[in-house]
Chains A and B, each alone.
Chain A
Amino acid sequence: MARHTKAVSAGLFLALFIALALFSFISAGGDRPILFAKLLWSLVVAYIGLCIYRYGAISKFRSILFILIAFFFFIEFKLFRFLSIENCVPPYCHIAQASTLFNFIHSQYLALASGEWRTWGVLTLGFLWLLIMFTIGQGICSWVCFYGGWDEACSKLSRRPLVRLKVSKSWRDFPIAFLIFLLIISFLQGLPFFCNWFCPLKLTEAFWDTHPSIRIVQAVLFWSILAGLVIVLPVLTKKRTFCSMICPFGALASICGKASPYKVTIDRHKCVSCGKCGEVCPVFAVENKNPDEYKISDFCNRCGRCIDVCPADAIHILSGPAGGQIDTRDIFIFLALLTTGVISGTFVPRAMLQLIGLK
C-alpha cells in the first residue's frame, strides 16, 4: 500500500512537472482564449502521463493521446477548407522531409553558400526532427507523428484481428528500399516525389499532374493506398500497415533512431516464448529467429504494447551498454510526452477553439 501511494505521488509529481514544462514551452504568443487552450492541452498531456505512471499501461493511454492528436491535426489542416478556417498555416510535414532529405541537404547548402541566413533558419526545422530522433528515436512514430494516429485509430476499430497478416523480412525492409529510391528520384526531379505519387494523407489535388491520364494513375494510387493501407488493412489486421509497410519517415527513423539511447529489449532469461509480443506489435518489429528466441528489431516504435502484454515482465525500455543497462522507462515516457506535447501544442489548442467556435 505504501509502495502504491509512493508510486502515485511520484506520478503526480512527474505529471505536474510535464504540465509546467510543456506550458512554458508552448505558451508564448496568442490571446487569452488560446492561452487557456494551451493550458488545457498541457493538462491533458500531463493527465495522460499520470495515467501511464499510475496504471502502468503505456500503450493504452499513449494511444488515446496519439489518436486525439491525429484527430485535431485532421481538423486543423485537412478540413480547413470545409470548415472555413482562416489563416491556417500548412503543417511542416516530416514524411515529405524524409523522402526529400537530399533536396533538403542541398537547399541547406545553397542557403549557407548564399549567405542567406534567414532561409537557413527556416529550413533548420528539419534538424528538429533529427534531434527528436536522436532522443526518443523511433518513438516519434508512435507518440508524436500526427499521421500515424490515422491508421492506429483504424486498427482500434476491430476487437481482434480478422486477418492474420505475416510479413517476411524482405517486405519489412521494403520501406527502406522505397526511401532510398525516393531520395534519389526526388533529388533528380527536384520534386517531392512521394507527395506527388504516393502520399495517402495529403487529401489535396495540389500535387497532381496536368495530363488527364497521368492524373488517373495518381488518383488510383492515392485512393488505393489510402483505402488499403490506412483504412482497410489496419481494421482487418490490427496492424499499422501504412506506417510499417510504406512510410519513408518510419524507414528513416529506423535508421537514425539507432542513435537513441532508449531501446526496447527482451530479457531472454525471463522470456517464456509465448509470442504475445509479436502478435500485438502493430509494426511487425518483433522477430523470432527460432521458436524460443524473440528479438525487437530496429523498426520498433516504442509504443509500449509488447511491454503491456508480456506475462513474464520480460520486456523493458533500457539504456546503456550491454551488461550495464538500466531501466529508463520513466525517463523515456517523460521525454516522449514532452516532445508530443510541444509538437502537438503548435496546432491542437487552436483546433480545440475552432471546434467550439471560438476561433
Chain B
Amino acid sequence: MIRIIFEGVMLGVSAGVYCAGTCLVFFMPYLLAEGEQRMSGNLKKISLFMLGRLIAYIGFALIVGLVMSANRSIFTARFSHIALIMASSVMLVYALAHNFSGSQACVSFLRKARLMRIPFFLGLFTGLNPCPPFLVGAARLWTINDIFGGVVLFSAFFLGTSVYMIPLAFVSYLNRSERVRRIGVIMAMLSGVWFLFIGISGLIRS
C-alpha cells in the first residue's frame, strides 16, 4: 500500500505541471474574474475546486474498480471527453452569465446558481478531463485491479498534483484591478469554447 501511495504522489508531482496547466486554464480565469482580494477569501474557492477534483479522482477510481469488465478504452475516452464537455459548459455558462450580468435573467441566474458552488463543479469536471497525467494514472489503475488500491492511488495522485495549485492562492494580488477581472472573464469564455470544441471533437474521433 505504501508503494501505491508513493507511486501516486510521484506520478502527481512528476506529471503535475501538465495537469496544473489544464486545470489552470479553467480555474485561473474564474479566480481572476470572481476571486477576492484577500487571500483567505480565495482559499475557500480554491478549496472547493480542490474538493471537486478529489471527489472526481476518487469517484473515477471507484467506478473503474466496479466496472473493470467494461470496455476500458471506450470507457476512458468517452467518459473523459464527456467530463470535458461538462466542465467547459459550466465555464461557458459562468462566463456568459457574467458578461451579460446587466440582463435580469442573468442576475437571477447568478443568484440562484450561487457562484460559490461553481468552483466545486469546475473541479469535479476538470478532475476527469483527459490530460496526460490523468491518463497515465488511469493506465496504472487498470493494472492494480483492486478498488481500494485504486482509490488510494488517485488520492495520492491528487496530493502530488495539488502542489502545482499553490500559486493559485496568490491570484488575489492580481485581481485587484478591474481590468484583470475583465480579462479573466474573457479567458473563461475562450477556455469554455475551446474545451467544448475539444470535448466534442474528441467524442467524434473516439
Contact = CB atoms under 8 A, between A and B. Distances in A.
A173 B25 contact: no
A4 interface: no
Contacts of B201: 211, 213-214, 217
A187 interface: yes
Given A181-B25, A188-B21, A169 B191 contact: no
Contact of A181 (B187, B197, B204): B187
B154 to A, nearest CB: 21
A213 B205 CA distance: 10
B68 interface: no
B204 A178 contact: no
Interface in A32-55: none
Interface string A195-218: 000000000000000010110010
Contacts of A181: 25, 187, 190-191, 194
Interface in B179-201: 179, 182-187, 190-191, 194, 197, 201
Interface string A205-242: 00000010110010000000000000000000000000
A8 interface: no
Chain B interface main SS type: helix
Interface magnitude class on chain B:
20 to 34
B128 to A, nearest CB: 17
Interface string B4-37: 0000000000000010011011000100000000
Contact of A184 (B24, B179, B184, B205): B24
B22 A177 contact: no
Contacts of A177: 29, 183-184, 186-187, 190
Given A173-B179, A181-B191, A188 B186 contact: no
Among A169, A184, A217, residue most surrounded by chain B Cβ atoms (within 10 Å): A184
A174 interface: yes
A131 interface: no
A180 B187 contact: yes
A155 B197 CA distance: 33
A217 B205 CA distance: 14
A184 B21 contact: yes
A185 interface: yes
A176 interface: yes
A22 B179 CA distance: 41
B180 to A, nearest CB: 9
A217 B198 CA distance: 12
Nearest to A193: B194
Contacts of B197: 217
A174 B186 contact: yes
20 contacts: A169-B179, A169-B182, A170-B185, A170-B186, A173-B179, A174-B186, A177-B184, A177-B186, A177-B187, A181-B25, A181-B187, A181-B194, A184-B25, A185-B25, A187-B21, A188-B22, A188-B25, A211-B201, A217-B197, A217-B201
Interface of A: 169-170, 173-174, 176-178, 180-181, 184-185, 187-188, 211, 213-214, 217
